[in-house]
């Protein structure tokens, strides 16, 4: 018995739901109209006129069977700038970075710098013991003096036809070899002094005075940080929209409330086959030196800006399948209009197709209306 009662109750609820859908959605009925039908006030009288209302279009009730305007909220579309951006994460790099290393082995005799000091290009950073190199240079210079004298005597004998030309040629070759030895000795002596290759800030040294270092030993790092680089990657789908010169904005955890701006100056021509990502590099000005290489950065890349985009509140959009629609108010009625949606920002959607400046769209009450239904706009928002 209880099972039968449940089945009957379900059938009654289904019938009521179907009737409500037909009346409110298909016929555009209202609660007031339903109450009128229930009380018999809206029943048609004999002769075709509604009871209590004069027949004909001139009566207060309008034409027989006319649906009253449905109250809705609407808002004019807004025209404003829309910026298309893409976010990524990256790392800050020095504009120039080098680890100072000697080219030859030697003993450190002087480190004329302070750690963390700002230095200019050409500043002496390291001096190695150059006593052996100086002696080698002096020996080569002495040998070259003797070779010049030998060449002068051989040349004089050759002009007097009292000596063979071979002696003159040997003396000339010996002079050239000694000149090369002098150049080599000077080059070795120059390598005993290490200088800064560019303007920058020194890091922490890894050696001390008196250390015996081999060629290639790390001594100190030098970083140019007045301008920094930021490397980041974005999905390959943005490749058509990326170009050199686009602005970037970065934020770092160390300065959470501050934003730093820069520009893209290089795009890697090779797409990463592992992540299908495009690598970009931008420069960021750092005149006060607060940013440091190695910081983790959140990057916002601006792809383009539309200065006069058409914007509507997101609640004005109605989805039907894969398509987006809005109800546009035209002369007291609504027109269901298909639109193409672009960027979404701050509870607003950019409309790239389907609307133009000056249009008014329904923002609340879409479930009560259909295409061509009369509406009464209430609480409409002024254009901003």
Report pLDDT digits (tens) over 107-148. 999 999 999 999 999 999 999 999 999 999 888 888 887 788
Going by CATH, does the domain composed of 87-94+225-305 fall within 2.40.30.170? yes
For residue 334, the Cα-to-chain-centroid distance in whole angstroms is 41
- Find the helix packing angle between 165-190 and 131-159, rounded to 10°: 160
Q: For residue 143, which phi and psi values (nearest 5 degrees)? A: -65, -35
Tokens representing 238 are 């943005």
Phi, psi of 204 (to 5 degrees): -100, 130
Report helix, strand or coil for 322: coil
CB 250 within 8 A of CB 227: no
Query: Could you state, in order of their start, the residue ranges of all structural domains in the chain?
Result: 70-80+307-378, 87-94+225-305, 102-126+196-218, 130-191
Q: What is the pLDDT of residue 21?
A: 62
Contact residues for 49 (Cβ-Cβ < 8 A; gap 6+): 55, 56, 64
**330, 357 in Cβ contact below 8 A?**
no
Compute the distance between CA of residue 231 and CA of residue 246 in angstroms, rounded to an integer.
14
pLDDT value at residue 140: 86
Reported as half-sphere exposure (CB side, CA atoms, 13 A), residue 303 has a value of: 14
Question: Domain 102-126+196-218 class?
Answer: mainly beta
Distance (Å, whole) CA 363 – CA 313:
7
pTM of the complete model: 0.64
Tell me the C-alpha distance between 92 and 284, whole Å. 9
CATH 1.10.357 assigned to 130-191: no
The 10s digit of each residue's pLDDT in 330-384 is 988 999 999 999 888 888 899 989 899 989 999 998 888 888 889 888 864 554 4
Strand partners, 163: none
Q: What is the pLDDT of residue 159?
A: 74
* Alpha-helical runs (H) found in 81-192: 131-159, 165-190
pLDDT of residue 257: 82
- Cα–Cα distance for residue pair 11/369, rounded to 1 Å: 28
Token digits of residue 68: 């009253």
Q: Which CATH architecture has domain 70-80+307-378?
A: Beta Barrel (2.40)
- Spans of the chain, pLDDT less than 50: 41-64, 380, 383-384
DSSP for residue 49: P
Calculated CA dihedral for residues 328, 331, 334, 338, nearest 10 degrees: -40
Rg value, the chain, Cα: 44
Contact 244, 265 (CB under 8 A): yes
Nearest to 253 by CA among 225, 228, 290: 290
Average pLDDT value for the chain: 83
* 3-state percent breakdown (helix, strand, coil) of the chain, nearest 5: 25, 40, 35
3-state secondary structure of 21: helix
pLDDT at 378: 85
Q: Which pLDDT belongs to residue 246? A: 95
pLDDT at 207: 94
What is the C-alpha separation between 152 and 278, in angstroms, rounded? 68
Q: Report the b/e string of 323-334 with b at 16+ CB within 10 A.
A: ebbbbbbeeeeb
Dihedral sign for Cα 373, 30, 381, 85, please: negative
Coil, strand or helix at 127: strand
Question: Quick one: which of 302, 364, 352, 359 has its CA closest to 328?
Answer: 359
How far is C-alpha 214 from the geometric centre of its chain's CA atoms? 44
């Amino acid at each position: 018995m209880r099972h039968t009662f449940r089945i009957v109750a379900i059938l009654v609820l289904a019938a009521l739901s179907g009737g409500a859908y037909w009346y409110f959605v298909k016929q555009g009925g209202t609660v007031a109209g339903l109450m009128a039908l229930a009380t018999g006030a809206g029943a048609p009288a004999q002769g075709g006129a509604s009871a209590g209302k004069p027949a004909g279009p001139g009566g207060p009730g309008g034409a027989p069977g006319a649906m009253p305007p449905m109250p809705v909220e609407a808002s004019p579309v807004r025209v404003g700038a829309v910026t298309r951006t893409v976010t990524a994460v990256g790392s800050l790099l020095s504009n120039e970075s080098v680890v100072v290393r000697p080219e030859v082995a030697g003993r450190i005799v002087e480190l004329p710098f302070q750690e963390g000091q700002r230095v200019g290009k050409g500043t002496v950073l390291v001096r190695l013991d150059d006593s052996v190199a100086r002696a080698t240079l002096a020996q080569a210079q002495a040998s070259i003096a003797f070779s010049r004298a030998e060449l002068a005597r051989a040349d004089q004998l050759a002009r007097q036809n009292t000596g063979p030309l071979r002696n003159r040629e040997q003396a000339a070759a010996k002079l050239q070899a000694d000149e090369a030895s002098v150049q080599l000795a000077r080059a070795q002596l120059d390598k005993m002094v290490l200088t800064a290759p560019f303007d920058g800030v020194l890091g922490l040294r890894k050696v001390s005075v008196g250390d015996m270092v081999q060629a290639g030993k790390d001594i100190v790092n030098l970083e140019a940080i007045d301008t920094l680089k930021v490397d980041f990657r974005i999905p390959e789908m943005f490749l058509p929209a990326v170009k050199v010169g686009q602005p970037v904005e970065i934020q770092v955890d160390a300065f959470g409330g501050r934003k730093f701006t820069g520009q893209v100056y290089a795009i890697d021509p090779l797409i990463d086959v592992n992540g299908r990502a495009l690598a970009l590099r931008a420069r960021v000005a750092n005149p006060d030196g607060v940013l440091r290489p190695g910081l983790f950065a959140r990057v916002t890349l601006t792809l383009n800006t539309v200065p006069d985009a058409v914007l509507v509140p997101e609640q004005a959009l109605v989805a039907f399948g894969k398509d987006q629609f809005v109800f546009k108010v035209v002369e007291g009625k609504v027109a269901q209009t298909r639109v193409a949606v672009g960027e979404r920002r701050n509870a607003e959607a950019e409309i790239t197709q389907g609307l133009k400046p000056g249009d008014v769209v329904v923002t609340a009450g879409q479930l009560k209306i259909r295409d061509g239904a009369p509406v009464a706009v209430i609480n409409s928002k002024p254009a901003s």
